[in-house]
Structure 1
Amino acid sequence: MAVDDGVLAGVVAVHAFGCGPVSHGSAFAVAPGLLVGAAHVVAGSSSVEIAWNAGGGDGLVTSPADIVGFDPARDLVLLRSDAAVSPLRIERVRFGGTGAVLGYLQGEQLEVSPARIEHLVRASGLWGDGIGRNVYLLAADVQKGQSGGPLVDRGGVVGVAFAAATGPDDVGYALSRGELLGFLASSGVDVGFDYRGDAAVHAQPASLSVTANGDCRLG
């Protein structure tokens, strides 16, 4: 699947420090100054930074980020940063279509992994916690470092990648659009909808408070 450069520009690498080796994941902008990623990547960390390709070269630009929303039940985190990262649209899901999971492998290389959304399932028992989550089952090779990266279709976000199954087949998992929107609302971010049913995120990052981010065991 070909992904527009404007969509790629909305995806960043996440580096979390303080729980032993650096933890790597991905995130994407939902509004100016606000990004969503995976909670298990930053759990227990003492500091977080994002890195992205600002254009004009192969190197990545880094910027510090604050944690202003953290939900271990959904495995989602909200980051605030001054980085000029373009927000991505949040669209309605289309089952059976071929989209892609975007994310930085080992925090260095942005990878586009083709993904077909097969089913919406109610999954529980991740990390042995027994908590239920609405999850898309994907025919996709979700790779290490893509946790927290967007599942995109037709140029907009429809879910958040967070795990891959072990075994010979390429099976990945993404938190549903509903889980993403519910997390944003619970984090104090105003979410509305346009005439197409696509989400419109209205946020004032400066009004959000830095929050606790659990401990290292979540990762």
Structure 2
Amino acid sequence: MVWSVLGALAGSALLAGGLLTGEVAGAVPQPAVPEAPPVRHSAGSGFAVAPGLVVTNAHLVLRCRQADLPLVEVGRRGAWRVVYEDPDLDLALLAPPAGGALPSLRLSAARHLAPGAAVMLLGYPGGETLASLVGTPGRIAGATLTVHRPETGRVASLQTRDASGREVTPTWADGVAWFGADNAARLRWVVQITAGTGPGGSGGPVMDGAGAVVGVVFAGQAGGPTYAVPLADLVGFLVRAGFVPDFAPPYEGTPNWPMVQDAAAGSMVRLAC
């Protein structure tokens, strides 16, 4: 099995199925890529999970805090307050200024997402050049392991291939062996998605065809792939924050992505500091 490390711009449901292993044939490291300059000091996306509660990435909160700048919704006055955060998962729960409640998105009740499942990334990845909400259809590529450092804006992912060159899912032991025991505490299962994102796409939801959330973008590149916090981690994060989200039945069918984007638009916010 061949190991390689891919870098991604920090920006971007644990999958079911057996984890494949094999003989180690070699390793080709590729250095993590630093994040491109964001809008203002830092920018990202967020989505409402309840009236008065918005999910985004913790790395956006961390950068604003490091710069001693208030986190605000672009085009509106008033600083947002951090209700709960988990830097290890790169998730934060925010409360808007008074009177800023948004309609909430439901989370999918699906137990897992199969590779090949159709999804859409939703957010504001245009940086300074595009302030519009963007929906980018893609598919679940599979589960992978990453070591992510939200405080630096860098993430490295592990790809494994068998002797024929076919990409296979790494095991936890593969991740520890490649990244080292000193990085084991930062090792996380994440969802890899074929679609790309860009600066400002951080914190946006990954949507299924019913308009339910199945993950949270935390890293990616314009041409793909994009990496997302798994649905199970998002649910656990919200429960630890003292909030039980609303769930939608698992989706089956052919998605109408423009309809999904239009329905979710009112629950989205563009954040910056």
Report the TM-score, using the length of structure 1 for normalisation: 0.67
- Unaligned regions of 5+ residues in structure 2, if any? 1-38, 156-181, 252-273
Q: Which residue of 1 aligns with 2:93?
A: 78
Relative to structure 1, the CA distance from residue 141 to residue 162 in structure 2 (aligned partners, 3 Å threshold; closer, same or farther) is same
In our comparison, the structure showing a higher alpha carbon Rg is: 2
Contact 1:146/1:161 (<8 A) preserved: yes
Alignment partner of 1:67 is 2:88: no
Aligned partner of 2:213 among 157, 170, 173? 157
- Unaligned regions of 5+ residues in structure 1, if any? 1-19, 52-59, 199-219
Taking only aligned residues, the RMSD between alpha carbons, in angstroms, comes to 2.7
Alignment partner of 1:87 is 2:104: yes
Relative to structure 1, the CA distance from residue 116 to residue 23 in structure 2 (aligned partners, 3 Å threshold; closer, same or farther) is same
Q: Which residue of 2 aligns with 1:215?
A: none
Question: Aligned with 2:201: secondary structure?
Answer: coil
Q: Which residue of 2 aligns with 1:119?
A: 142
Question: Aligned with 1:190: secondary structure?
Answer: coil
Distance 1:119 1:161 in 2: 15
Distance 1:188 1:39 in 2: 18
Aligned residues: 168
Aligned letter for 1:116? R
Please give the residue correspondences for 1:129-148 in structure 2 after superposition, counting only pairs within 5 Å: 130=183, 131-148=186-203
Q: Which residue of 2 aligns with 1:110?
A: 133
Q: Which residue of 2 aligns with 1:32?
A: 51
**Identity of counterpart residues, as a percentage?**
34
Relative to structure 1, the CA distance from residue 139 to residue 197 in structure 2 (aligned partners, 3 Å threshold; closer, same or farther) is closer
Distance 1:101 1:197 in 2: 18
Report the TM-score, using the length of structure 2 for normalisation: 0.55
Distance 1:41 1:119 in 2: 26
Relative to structure 1, the CA distance from residue 62 to residue 134 in structure 2 (aligned partners, 3 Å threshold; closer, same or farther) is farther
Greater strand proportion:
1
Distance 1:63 1:157 in 2: 27
